[in-house]
Amino acid sequence: MQSIINKRKKNFIIINKFVIFLFFLLIIFIIYSFININKIVSFSKIYIENYSFKYGFTLQSIEVSNLNYLDKNEILYFFKLYKNKSIFLIPIKNISQDIKRKKWIKDIHINSDYKNTLQINIQEETPLGIYDNGNQKFLFSSNITVLEIIKNEKKYLELITFYGENSINNSKKLISNFDDELYNMIDSAIYIEKRRWNIFLKNEILLKFPEKKIQEAIKNYKKIYANFSNKDLKEIKSIDLRISNQAIIEYKVKND
């Protein structure tokens, strides 16, 4: 009986040694394969690079289209390491992902002519408005994404400036009520008590909108606008449109 146990122990030890041997053999094989693969990849890249340089398949031109807000150089920056290099070795997918991380980029498509040119088509985020928190002004998009801190406000004079807590989140809903004519009249909008809006027009008139039925309030203002001369409008300080089918007009105080 003891001899059988000893024999089993011996077989177990032999099997373990064999397994350990196979394990180390596998590790050696993996390392050897990895080294050879790297050598093959490195050799292939050198061959492709030399072939491309010899026959003119190198990146010489980058065409960027549909930029309205971003500087072209901000896009070209991502390709500076690949200029005059093989057009076949440019990691287009990786570069696209890197560029897409920029807040201004909504979508991007990069196409190669497999000769010497890349065509880059950019879809930028659409600026929706400016948010002023009292200390800084932020440009935000139609996706309610903050795009940048505004340093040059003159670039965005056509946009409405929003004030008040939670005004950004409700800005898109408000703007959807405006046609182009009214939108172009508006300078800024203040979200009052997280429920309604005060609208400041470029002609310095304050419109007090109701919490609901904004379209009705807009129609009431347009009736007033159509029936008042520019001289009359200049004398108006505010128009309260919060009561349905009514407009309470407050005139500016004239200095004697």
Angle formed at CA 239 by CA 216 and CA 225, multiple of 5 degrees: 70
User: In terms of domains, do 182 and 103 share one?
Assistant: no
Q: 91 and 34 in one domain?
A: no
Query: Domain end: 89, 124, 159, which one?
Result: 124
Our count of domains for the chain comes to 3
Residues 168 and 118 reside in one and the same domain: no
Q: Is residue 211 part of a domain?
A: yes
Tell me the residue range of the domain where 88 lies. 61-124
Tell me, rounded to whole angstroms, the distance of Cα 56 from its chain centroid: 36
pLDDT tens string 131-186: 999 899 999 998 888 999 988 777 888 999 999 999 999 999 999 999 999 999 99
131 and 244 assigned to the same domain: yes
What are the residues whose beta carbons fall under 8 Å from the beta carbon of 160, sequence distance 6 or more? Answer: 129, 130, 171, 175, 183, 186, 187, 188, 189
What's the pTM value of the predicted model, to 2 decimals? 0.72
Residues 211 and 132 reside in one and the same domain: yes
Residue 256 lies in a domain: no
Radius of gyration of the chain (CA): 34
> What average pLDDT does the chain have?
84
